[in-house]
Every structure is written in structure tokens, then in C-alpha cells.
A and B are shown apart, each in its own frame.
Chain A
Amino acid sequence: MTLEPLVVFLPLFGAILAMPLGRAAGPKAAEIASTVLVGLAAVYAWVLFFDVALGEPNPRTIRLATWFSSGDFQADWALRLDTLSAVMLVVVNSVSFLVHWYSMGYMKEYGETPRFFAYLSLFTFAMLTLVTADNFMQLFFGWEGVGLASYLLIGFWFKKKSANDAAIKAFVVNRVGDFGFALGILGVYYVFGSVEFDTVFSVIAADGVAIPYGMDTGAPVRELTVSFLGHDWHALTVIGVLLFIGAMGKSAQLLLHTWLPDAMEGPTPVSALIHAATMVTAGVFLVCRCSAIYENAPDAAALVTIVGALTAFFAASVGLLQDDIKKVVAYSTCSQLGYMFFAAGAGAYGAAMFHLFTHAFFKALLFLGSGAVIIAMHHEQDIKKMGGVKDLLPFTHILMLIGTISITGLGIPGLYLFGAPFGTAGFVSKDVILESAFAAGETGRAFAGAAFTLGLMAAVMTAFYSWRLIFLTFWGRSRAPEHVRKHPHHVPDSMMIPLVPLAVGALVAGMAFYGHFVDPAKSEKFWNGAFYSAEAHAPADDEAHAGESHAPADVHAAPAESHDGDAGAHHEESHHHVPGWVLWAPFLAMLAGALPAAFHYLRGDPLRPGLLRPGGLVHDFLKNKWYFDEIYDFLLVRPALAIGRFLWKEGDGRTIDGVGPDGLAATVAAGARRIVRMQTGYMYHYAFVMLVGIALFVTYVLLRLAGGGQ
């Protein structure tokens, strides 16, 4: 009996126990029990992280049971432990534990905490099954499970109509993504005859011959074309695009992003855990997990790149004018996810995961800090009605500052200490992403250059809206009503202590883990084949080590280069690949955003109109979030409802019934009249008579026919 499954199942125990325990021993018991269980899982996750990834590499897969099988289709319950899943285990369990802890304070006065903690733990469990899946089906199980938990938690305050609307919207928009995801899985099964990661990826790595169902001959999988919806397509591209549609839904990428801002209707700890640090990164995780597919489907990778880049730009632009503190952070999340995607699309999977990792720290910190502000300000979320909060919440102010310098990227470009760039977590990881995108663009990867440009522009806007939030909320004169100013709501310690580790992470996680995640010299050993790399699997390569020795993608995208040198040598190398201005560009972009923000919001009335005047075209366009909601409502939601009604009344009612039973009825009206009278009398008589009647009739017909035949 292995213990590893506990890292996934402890939170499930918490989810199951919370409600009964809350009933039997009071809400406090439920809160503590579920928090402790997730805490244990977090500790164990770190143990596994050291075991699997940091020490001698020790990846393994633990098969628990067959989930379902039919013919050659088989899906298992399993626990895949490799560096990629170990990183996710650590992120998910740690943030979840801190959010559980924080929630004990945050949810105090809202009541119903056992239900809340049950949902949080359920989410954690589902997310863990997602990241530890060793096949697409279990991944899909976790995928839908986190969607369910997200639905339940967004709609946690079910009295509010807006919360219910947001919850349904989140679920349905995600289902649009799942539409693609499910077809993608079916495509994988159709091409490979399996949905297991090892099988699928090793076939791709070896460029083995795949014979899709029903075909007589196959082809090497990288060249294989399949017919999908009446056209012949490159198989891996179709699969990659379909899977990415799923990722777009879950990770709120452009076109399928509309649910994420609305999801802020949920309690703030939920926003931090699910809609910032973990669930929304599942799409990035999926693309990284499927690196073997995307590396061999350039068009699909290009789509990932451009969608990610556009999302990074779009969401940051909308974030500029949001007044709800949570919505600012939500659009920021959306934008940062875009960064991760275009990194992955550009082939820098390590960089994508690195940003996912650091983002979990600083974004959870920003959300939970915002939660403290909201509590203190008597549930006010409009930053225009705040100001001067730093005097009320000095400690929160410092934490939020840390989060802000992390996300905007404060550091010293070009300075390396102990082999890592010197700067906040966001500085390090965002720089790596932008450099990788630039380098990938230089080597000709589609849209990577555009992604670099859009990413830089987004970085300007990120700095602007992040500092705008700080300046409007914490600095300047207070615009809050007097009773709020005089008597801010008490923020308990349990809402402050969990933020400390996050703040530490937001500052140093980038420097601490740079080497492992992205430094070409060390990352290969760290990732240990979790990512596919073209060099390790050039078709000329023999097929002997297929599926075992996936080398990591080179995040600095220098395919021809070998990386034998030490960290010091590496600096020079990366300077070789990217010109100096690229190294400085993100930093300058940060200044280009932060300085105007300071210029505008720190002098005079911060609420005076700035460059974008209300009523102006650009202002309204951004304020209305590029009108996506309105367009979808007009194009999709209303028509669906109208068509449904039309089909019901006209299709079923008039056409089918009108011709069918109702039309027929005119001729059998007399018979029907008799049936009406049937309500009187003993029913079983009728039943019996009818039964006998049918029997006799049938017997008569059959015997006559038989007799006639002989």
C-alpha cells in the first residue's frame, strides 16, 4: 500500500467530513478539520516535490484502478508523479492550505462555513486529480470537477441573483471549451487508440506509425492526416487546436474569457484560490502536459501563441479602467494567463510553468490582500470610494505593495546573483517569458515576435493598473464615508498570517527557483523529460529511447546550442541570443506604466479624468470590456432561447402534434370521447380486457397466417 494517494485524497476527506462535522461539532470543528487535512496534504506535496523533482529524479505512476473500459478504450484512475505534476501539487496544496486558513477569518461573519470549506476542499481534490492524471480521461474528470467546485463557490451566496447568474455563466462558458476538449480527447483516441499520456506521447516522440480507427494503413504520426468534419487535416494540429479550445475556456482566454470577471461574485478567498492561483492555470498545465503534441503541430502552437498574446493585451487594457478592486485583479489574472500561454505556444514550457508558479504567489497575495481591504471597508469594493487605506491597514498595505512590485516586475535587469536574475518573482518569470518569446520569434516561430510586442505593451498597462489600484486604494486622502474611516472593520490575524508566506514567495520565488525551472544548465535535470523537445526527438534519432528521455524545451529557444556551461556561462549565452535592449525592455515597460500612474494619481484629484475621457470612444470601449458580453448575448444567448421557444411551440406543437395526434384525433374523436368516460368504473377490468383483447387479436392474426402458409 503506497501512501502517495493521500496527497490527493486528504482534501477529499475534508470535503466529505466538513458538513457532517459542522452539524455535529459546530462550524469551527469543520473549518479546522478541513484546513488541517489540506495542510497535511500540502506538507506531503512538498515532500513529494523534493522526492520527485529536486533530489535524484524519481518520477513514477501509481495505478489505482480501471475507471472504465470498453473494447480497446480504457481509462484508469492513476497518480502520475513527475516534475510537472509535483510542481502543481505544491502550488495547489500550498495555496489551498493558506486560503483555507485565511477563510477562517474572512468567512467568520458570513456564516455557513462548513459548506464553504467543504466546497474549497472538494475543489482542491478535483484539482489534484487533474494534475496527477496519467490519461486524458482522468484529466477531464478533474477538469469538470474543478468546474463544478467553481460553479458552487461563485454561487456560494445563492440569494444574490448576480452570483447565480455568474455561476451558471462560468459553467456554461467552460462547457463551450469542454466541447472542444471532449472532441480533442476523442481525436486522440481515434488516432492513437489510447488516451494514456505515456502511450500517446511516446508514439509522437518516436514518430511511430499510427493507424486511425477504420483505416487500413497509417502513417508516421507527425505526418498523419485525418479526416475531420469532411476535410483532411494534419492530425496533431486538429487535436492540438481542439484541446486548446478546452484550455481557453478553463483559463479564460480571449473569446471564452467572459466568465472570469463575473466569477468575482464569489467570496474573495475563492477568487484567490480558484480564479487566480490554481484552476484557471489548468489550461496552461494542459498545454504544457501536451507539449509533445504542440511541438509537432506548429499551427496549433501558433494559435496558442497568438491567443495568449492577444489575451495578455486585451485583459490588461480592460484592467486599466476597472473600479472594482477584485475586477482589476481578475483582468490582471486573465492577462497574466495570456503570458503563460504565449510562452507555451512559443515552446518555452518551462517559462510558462515558471510564471504559473510565481503568479500563484503574487496573485493570491493580491487577492487575499484585497479581501482584507474589502472587509475593513465594510464590504466596499469600489476603489474610487477608498483612498488612504494605508493608514488603516499598514500591514496589508505593505503586503499589497509587495504583490504589486512582484507583478509589475521590479528588479535590476542584467544583474545575476547566485546564477539567478535579481528581482521579484514576477520580474524574473515575466522577463524569461518575454525573452523566450523574442528568441523564438528570431528563430521563426509563428507569432512569437508579435507576442513579444503585445506582451511588452501589456506590461506597460499592467504596471499602470497595478499602481493605479495601489494609489487609489491606499494612498491619498480617504474618500470613504466617515463611519468607515473612523471605524474600519477589524481584520483578524488569521487573515494576515497566511499572507506572509505568499509575500515571501512573491519576492524571492523567482530567484530561488529560476535555476530549476528555466536555467538551461539545470532545468533539464529538473523537468526530467516532462516536456517534449524537438532536439531529443529528431526523427533521425532512433526510436529506442522513445517515451523515456524527453528533454526539456529550451526556454531560451536556442536549438543548436549546447548548455554544458555553468550558470555564469549561461548569462553570456543568453546575452548572445537576445540583444541587451530586450533584457531591459520589460523593465522600461514597467516604468512606462508606473510613472504615468504616479503622475496622474498622486498629484491633485486622483479621480479627475485623465487621457481617456469618459464618453470617449476608447474609454467606453475599454469600460465595456470590448463589448464581448453584449455581443455574445445578442448573437448566442438570445437566439438560443428564442429558437428553443420556437421549436417547442411551432415544431413540436404545431407541426408534429398538429399533423400527428391532434390531426388524427379529429377522425378518432368519437373513440376518444369514449375513452374520456373511462374514468369511471373499475380500471383493472379495462386493463384486463384490453390485455386479453390484444392477446386474442395477435393470436388470431398469427394463427391465420400460419394456417394460410401451410
Chain B
Amino acid sequence: MTESFAQQPWLSLITFLPLLGAAAIMARRMMARVGPDGTVEPREREQIDNVARRVALFFTTGAFLVSVFVFFAYYDPDLAGYQLVEQAPWLGSGISYKMGVDGISILFVLLTTFIMPICILASWTSITKRVADYMIAFLMMETLMVGVFCALDLFLFYFFFEGSLIPMFLIIGVWGSSGTKEFAGFAMPSRVYAAVKFFLFTLLGSVLLLVAMAWMYFAAGTTDIPTLQQFDFPAGAQKWLWLAFFASFAVKMPMWPVHTWLPDAHVQAPTAGSVILAAILLKMGGYGFLRFSLPMFPLASADFAPLVFALSIVAIIYTSLVALAQEDMKKLIAYSSVAHMGFVTMGIFTGTEQGIEGGLFQMLSHGFISGALFLCVGVVYDRAHTREIAAFGGLVHRMPIYAFLFLFFTLGNVGLPGVSGFVGEFLTMAGAFKTNSWIAFFAAFGVILSAAYALRLYRQVMYGELLKPALQSITDVDRRELAMLAALMAFALYLGVYPFPALSVFSPAADLLIENYRAALAAGGL
């Protein structure tokens, strides 16, 4: 029986379960009773909103439970190759619907399905306009994100990868914060500016990616990812293909200097949007490097590695310094995200076990920690309706539990050993040191600067006297907020003290990747 169960399309189920939820919400809304004047009555609207919230929570939780079940029941962490593979003919001639996971992707599927219910909870009371639309956008988002990590067909991957742009674009553009910004000669809401900026940057990458994909399909006759990973692209072509993929992934990551969309997007996005952005969307870039750049274009990856190192180091130092100067809580955390992703790209392109596993671990850990930090900002934003650092001070007097949680995640961000952030950071630096001590030397400046900006933020928001009249009656976290943050804290702490389970899932796939990578380099005379 288990045999046949194991062969069910589990990944498709996880992927499309949220879409089912979106459909359910749409259906409920179509059945809305319309008043005599043709509009939906307020009470009916309220009811639809409540249904939308519950349906979204139900389906995201369902997807999480299914993914956990599949992971423990059917996923074999000792295998290096793809598992739970499903394939169906799709567009014919080499393009098929193919899903599967390996050690590199499975934990990101779990991370996504874990973060989603938290996002729904985070939006429970703070989102009041167009709730049904909002929930639909998030459910679609989840389908697309899980799809990105499961797709084993390049075309299918592209569909999910670029598709995820749209709901995010809407989440920022519609549910973002208020304020206006002068852009292209006329004033527009800042959130729309941020959304457009996000869109422009990502579009730049995706056009190049599309062209490269088409070329690869033309050359290899298929878009099957495992096949392409074995395919020997000519060394000359690898360079161009690598650059095209790089353009797309570097923007997503984001790497310096194409990072400037991220702070704006974070600032404008609603809390849950920021959480998704930081916890999942950024990881697609790193995932892309590991799934495509390194295995498919090994020679070019080795050639361009110095470029990546340089950009990573600049990202770490530059954005850490910029973070020191920030006045907006979210912007500060966004810039620190760029710095942390710098460690990931640095690690991945060292092509060492420590670098790659450290990079993977750093991405996973950053999902918990930065996701939680944006939730922390959301907690005070919901109460004080500002994210300006200077508007706060002395919150510890009224919010002791929040103070504890925020401190924990701040320290995680600083990379304190015992919290998950340290493991990835250190391993990537170990990989870098082996490759070239200069890289590790410069990256280590991030160790100093992260302490400075993160503790400065914490001090200005939490410590000192509680003087601002607006904060006098601020309340501590409620049960819902506590549950979300405690869950994230549990993971960050567990993986900080005992990261072994995650690392052991990564290592077979990472080892295989490295083996192939080195073999390809050796064959290429490098």
C-alpha cells in the first residue's frame, strides 16, 4: 500500500493545494448576495472576508502538513538524486510537466509551506481592504513558489519563477503602505513606485533568462532539467548562458548593484508580503544558482566566480554600511538581508562543501530569522502605524515579551552562535577561506558591521525611557503574534544548536553537485 501511496503525485498536491483554496475563495465570492443597488452589502462582504481568511489558513496549513508528511514518510534523505518525480506530457517535443525534489530543494519546499500559514496569520487583522483578493494572491503565490522549487522542467520552472512576480507585484502595489513618491515626472503612491521598480528589475532578468532558455532548448532539444544538467554546453556558449541566468538570479537574490528594488519593496509591502519576500522569494536566486548555473554551466561558473566573489563582498560591506544609516526599520532589515545573501552567493561559488552547504543553510536560516524580523516590525507597525526608528524608544517597558523575541531575532541576524544564522555564515566563510583568504577577510567585516547596525536598531526602538505619548498605551504581543514568533524562534534555535538534521539533508545532493562540478572542470581542463 505504501508503495502505491509513495507514487502518488505528492508534489503536485502540495503545489496546487493552495490554488484550490484560491478557487474556493473565488467561488464563495461569486455566490455573494448582491443588494438591490448591485453592490455587495457590508455584512456580506465581512462574511466573505472571514471565509477568505479561514480558507486561506486551512489550505496553507494543509499544504504544510502534507509536505511534512511527505518529507518524513517518502523522502529519503540519503539519496543524492531527484525523488518523488512526476512526469506528464505537456507541450510536446521535449517539454513536459515534470516535478521532483532533491536535497537542495526539499527543505525550501518545507520552508515555503511553513512560512505561508504564518503569513496568513500575520495578515489576519492588519489587512482590512480587499481581504479576499489578498488571500487569493497569497495562495497563488504559494503555488508558484512551491512550484519553483519542485519544477524539473526548465520551461515549467520559468513559468513558476516569473509567475511569482505577479502576485508579489500586486501585493506590494495594492496592499502596500501609503505615501507618495515623485517618479518619472509625476507623483505616484510610493507603493506603486516600489512595485514598478520591483517589476522593472525582475523583468530585466527574466527577458534574458527567456532568451537563454530558448537557446538551450534549441541546442539540447529538451527542457528537462536533469537532462540539461548532464548536457555539455560548449564552453563559449556557457558564458553567455551563464550571464543570462545570472542576470535573473542576481536580481532575485538580490546582489549588489541590482539590489535597490528590495528596500523599497520591503518598505512598501504589507508585513506578510515582506515576510514572503525575505523568507522565500530571495531564496529563488540562490536556488537557481545551484540548480542551473553550477551544474549546467560549470566552466562559466568557475570563470565568473571571481566576479561573484567581488559582488558578494561589496554587497556584504556596502549594504552593511548603508544599513547603519537607515531611518526606517524595514529598510534596515532589508539592507541586512542583502548583506546576508552576499554570504550565500560567496559560499555557493566557492564550489566547496562548506560553501555550498553553508549557503543553503544560510538561506534556510535567513528564512526564519529575517521573516521573523519583518513580523517583529509588523507588530509595532500595527500598533503605532509607523516604521520610523526615531518614532520609537523604550518599548521594553510596555512590551517585555516582544522585547525578548525581538532581541532573539536581532541576535540571530548578528550571527550569534547558538542561533541558526551563525552556522551558515561560518560555513560559507570556511569555504571562502579555502578558496582565497582575501574573500573571507573582507566578508569578516560583515561580522563587525552587522553587530553595529542590528544593535543600534534594537537600542533605539526598545531601550531608553518610554517618552513618546503615542506609545504610552502600546500593548505587548497577543497570542496570535506570540505563536508565530515562537514557532520561528523554535526553528532558529533548534537549527542553531543542532543544525545536523538540515545539513544532512543538504549534503548528499551538495556532494553530488560538487562531484559533477569538479568532474566537469577537470574535463574542461580547469
Chain A residues with a Cβ under 8 A of chain B: 65-73, 137, 140-141, 144-145, 148, 151, 155, 158-159, 161, 164, 167-168, 171-172, 175-176, 178-179, 182-183, 186-187, 189-190, 213-214, 227-230, 640-641, 643-645, 647-648, 651-652, 656-657, 660-662, 664-666, 668-669, 672-673, 675-676, 678-679, 682-684, 686-687, 690-691, 694-695, 698-699, 701-703, 705-706, 709
Contacts and interface: CB of A to CB of B under 8 A. Distances in A.
Interface string B408-438: 0001000011100011001101100110011
A663 B498 CA distance: 48
B381 interface: no
Given A67-B500, A183-B433, 13 more contacts: A65-B500, A71-B352, A155-B459, A182-B447, A183-B437, A187-B433, A214-B434, A644-B323, A652-B263, A683-B130, A687-B137, A694-B159, A703-B91
Contact of A155 (B452, B463, B500): B463
14 contacts: A141-B417, A148-B416, A151-B455, A159-B394, A182-B429, A182-B447, A186-B430, A186-B433, A187-B437, A660-B260, A678-B174, A683-B137, A684-B26, A702-B213
Contacts of A171: 451, 455
Contacts of B444: 179, 182-183
B318 A647 contact: yes
A339 to B, nearest CB: 28
**Which 8 A-B pairs rank lowest in CB-CB distance, beginning with the nearest?**
A71-B353, A644-B325, A644-B321, A665-B184, A644-B324, A186-B433, A669-B184, A645-B325
B91 A230 contact: no
Interface string B344-386: 0000000011100110000000000000000000000000000
A676 B189 contact: yes
A530 B294 CA distance: 46
B261 interface: yes
Nearest to B133: A683
B513 interface: no
Given A164-B459, A168-B459, A706-B94, A684 B133 contact: yes
Contact of A164 (B213, B429, B463): B463
Nearest to A143: B417
Given A164-B464, A687-B166, A702-B214, A144 B416 contact: yes
A229 B417 CA distance: 26
Nearest to B198: A661
DSSP majority for the A interface? helix
A181 B173 CA distance: 46
B214 A705 contact: yes
Given A70-B358, A702-B217, A227 B437 contact: yes
A140 to B, nearest CB: 6
B325 A176 contact: no
Contacts of A73: 353-354, 427, 430
Contact of B429 (A145, A186, A661): A186
Contacts of B179: none
A155 B410 CA distance: 16
Interface of B: 26, 91, 93-95, 130, 133, 136-137, 140, 155, 158-159, 162-163, 166-167, 170, 173-174, 183-186, 188-189, 192, 195-197, 200-201, 210, 213-214, 217-218, 223, 257-258, 260-261, 263, 318, 321-326, 352-354, 357-358, 394, 396, 411, 416-418, 422-423, 426-427, 429-430, 433-434, 437-438, 440-441, 444-445, 447-449, 451-452, 455-456, 459, 462-465, 497-500, 503, 507
Nearest to B322: A648
B121 to A, nearest CB: 21
B196 A694 contact: no
A119 B430 CA distance: 32
Contacts of A190: 433-434, 437
B75 to A, nearest CB: 20
A673 B430 CA distance: 49
A657 B260 CA distance: 7
Contact of B451 (A71, A155, A172, A672): A172
User: Which of B95, B411, B437 gathers most chain A CB within 10 Å?
Assistant: B437
A651 B322 contact: yes
Contact of B162 (A228, A665, A694): A694
User: Which of A70, A145, A651 gathers most chain B CB within 10 Å?
Assistant: A70
A144 B440 contact: no
Contact of A70 (B217, B257, B321, B427): B427
B282 to A, nearest CB: 17
Nearest to A684: B136
A662 B158 contact: no
A168 B434 contact: no
B448 A176 contact: yes
A128 B221 CA distance: 62
Contacts of A641: 324-325
Given A175-B448, A189-B433, A675 B173 contact: yes
Contacts of B155: 698, 702
A706 B215 CA distance: 10
